[in-house]
Copies of this chain bind each other. A is one copy, B any other.
Amino acid sequence: MEPQSVPRIDQQLAFLVEADKLKNVLRRTTLTDGSRHENTAEHSWHLALTAMVLQEYASSPVNLPKVLRMLVVHDVVEIDAGDTFAYDAAGNATKEARERRAADRIFGLLPADLAAELRSLWEEFDAAATPEARFANAVDRIQPFLQNRETGGGTWHTHNLSRDQVLARMDPVRTALPQLWPTILNTIDKFFAKPSG
């Protein structure tokens, strides 16, 4: 109970060991080959790669290094809080409190300066108020979109979602990476063939 007595380096290594648990947090989305559910650690890696490859489409200039750092830590709280399915209203009602407690514990394993730095990246992502956070949030929609597109609808199909639900979920892409929107709309339209109007 005296964090100061644990050497700084051991606090850092303990956090990195704890982070391994994110590989056991499963998301609703499956891999594109449908073989299994995706976990949050590999999802986070895929988002970082997506940000690197699609950064040119950001509607506001973004600081890519910050986007990458944000994406690496943005889901670490799921070690305790679990993955809350985007379309789970009940789960999302308690998500904020669960994730805040998780952040206290997990980032709290780190020395105070690093804990503050990583927590602030996570909070910035969640607030979605800066260009970097808006771009990162859009990337967090595009990657599962691609997984769903490659698996005949994926969670749209297995969870019986409506076109409006999917459109609302994907909306951050429309403003953060507008040049991707026609591709996304086209896929959604095909899947929900044929929307009214």
In the complex, per-residue mask of A159-191: 1 if CB is within 8 Å of any chain B CB, else 0: 000000000000000000001100100000000
Q: Which residue of B lies closest to A15 (CB)?
A: B53
Copies of this chain, whole number: 2
Which one, B17, B46, B76, contacts A41 given CB within 8 A?
Answer: B46
A134 to chain B, nearest CB (A): 19
- How many chain-A residues does the 8 Å CB contact rule pick out? 48
Bound Cα distance from A8 to B31, whole angstroms: 24
User: A150 an interface residue at 8 Å Cβ cutoff?
Assistant: yes
Across the interface, which residues of B come within 8 angstroms of A10, CB to CB?
Answer: 183
User: A96 an interface residue at 8 Å Cβ cutoff?
Assistant: no
Given A31-B23, A65-B64, verify A183-B72 contact (CB < 8 Å).
no
| B16 lies within 8 A of A143 (CB) | yes
| A68 lies within 8 A of B48 (CB) | yes
The residues of A with any CB-CB pair to B shorter than 8 Å are 9-10, 12-13, 15-17, 19-24, 31-33, 35, 38-39, 41-42, 44-46, 48-50, 52-54, 57, 64-65, 68-69, 72-73, 76, 110, 114, 118, 143, 146-147, 150, 179-180, 183
